[in-house]
Structure 1
Amino acid sequence: MPELSPDVVAGEDGLIRPRWASTDPMLRDYYDNEWGMPIRDEQGLFERVSLEAFQSGLSWAIILRKRPAFRTAFDDFDPDAVADYGDSDVERLLGDAGIVRNRLKILATINNAKATVALREVGGLVEFVWSFKPDRTPEPKTSADVPAKTPESLALSKALRKKGFTFVGPTTMHALMEAVGIVDTHLVDSHRRGTSGVWA
């Protein structure tokens, strides 16, 4: 059997995962069942864009633990509902201890909901974001082989900003592309490598 990367471990179930997904049950479940799987519906993609923005500067575990509260606070990330939020909603959200109470990120989410609705005139958020899928996906052996940003994530960031989006920097957009299956950055030894169906 080939030697495994030091960045992966075999779980009690015999499945090989990266270290970040091998201890915390919540992160393991997210890794096994969600991360890297294709998201091709507007509401689902808007949620991921929003949560990646809130994650900026924080750990993903914090956001994941708060996701049920985020969904309640933001009407399940329905873009039409969030786009209609006003000052009273901003104050409500700033007073909600269940979410990350950052005024700039809250305002960005409302702004991005409006931008998402506007994008429907040119094919919609899903078609727009997925159009930046690269010709090839990375094949990382170790965590160090996973890029923090790529030419495609930089291009997506610039294109979204031109469409009025905020908190969509190239590193954040690369994390989004990983999370929703546009690229497959599962380590090559991982049991999840190649499971999205996007990359043969």
Structure 2
Amino acid sequence: MCTRCGWVDESKLDYVAYHDDEWGIPVLEDNKLFEFITLESAQAGLSWYTILKKRSGYRTAFCQFDVDQVAKMTDADVERLLTFEGIVRNKAKIAATINNAQAFKRVQEEFGSFARYQWQFVNFRPLVRTIKSKTDYQATSDESDAFAKDLKKRGFKFLGSTTVYAHMQACGMINDHHDDCFKKSEVISGYDEAEFQKLESKS
């Protein structure tokens, strides 16, 4: 029987699948990073499971997270999505997603990829935290503070340090799996040094 992080409700199979197949695994693809950063910004003030259950709705609403298409959405799309039950119908958050897509594209143009921009905040290497009890979990870090501050400067919204830290956990910038969790060592052993070297060399 696998030992998982204590926050995983094992009665919810979709939650288990998210933990086992995605959470904490390094992401270098811009499309997936845009999805993660959008979902994290939507979570503000809500539980992650609320957003996870609506993930397919978000994919439908926001063009499968095609950042180019989302960046072209208009005020009319915001009003339309306020009637779409598949997402959190918060006007400010919907508008922020479109705004963030536009800011995301500016970052891509400047750095070549969002991944290259994002991973610089951990020096192109996943940070591995020691997590032995609930008290070892952090809500923010120096890295998330710096990342969130820079995102704000670049015009991103609904992405404060706490939200950014959750994003960093989700996409593997920080390995916050519990030390007893089977994914901790699995993620570490799956680390692809060559991929990160390529990303860093182009920075």
Q: TM-score, normalised by structure 1?
A: 0.89
* Residue in structure 2 matched with residue 148 of structure 1 by the alignment: 139
Q: After the TM superposition, which residues 106-125 of structure 1 pair with which residues of structure 2 at under 5 Å, given as runs?
A: 106-123=94-111, 124-125=113-114
* Residue in structure 1 matched with residue 200 of structure 2 by the alignment: none
Please give the root-mean-square deviation of Cα atoms over the aligned residues, in Å: 1.6
* Residue in structure 2 matched with residue 53 of structure 1 by the alignment: 41
Q: What is the distance in 1 between the residues matched to 2:64 and 2:88? A: 16
Q: Where is the helix percentage greater, Structure 1 or Structure 2?
A: 2
Q: What is the distance in 2 between the residues matched to 1:141 and 1:100? A: 34
**Shift of residue 164 of structure 1?**
1.2
Letter in 1 for 2:177: H
Q: What is the distance in 2 between the residues matched to 1:156 and 1:35? A: 19
* Residue in structure 2 matched with residue 42 of structure 1 by the alignment: 30
Q: 1:199 to 1:23 in 2, by over 3 A?
A: farther
* Residue in structure 1 matched with residue 122 of structure 2 by the alignment: 133
Extract unaligned runs of 5+ from structure 1.
Answer: 1-13
Moved over 2 A (4+): 134-137, 194-200
Do the aligned partners of 1:182 and 1:198 also contact (CA within 8 Å) in 2? Answer: no
Deviations 1:108-154 (A, max 9, x none): 10000000111122213111111111674311101220110000000
Q: After the TM superposition, which residues 27-106 of structure 1 pair with which residues of structure 2 at under 5 Å, given as runs?
A: 27-106=15-94
Letter in 1 for 2:170: A
Moved more, 18-27 or 74-83: 18-27
Q: TM-score, normalised by structure 2?
A: 0.88
Q: Percent identity?
A: 41
Letter in 2 for 1:20: W
Do the aligned partners of 1:181 and 1:198 also contact (CA within 8 Å) in 2? Answer: no
* Number of aligned residue pairs: 187
Extract unaligned runs of 5+ from structure 2.
Answer: 194-203
Q: What is the distance in 1 between the residues matched to 2:186 and 2:95? A: 35
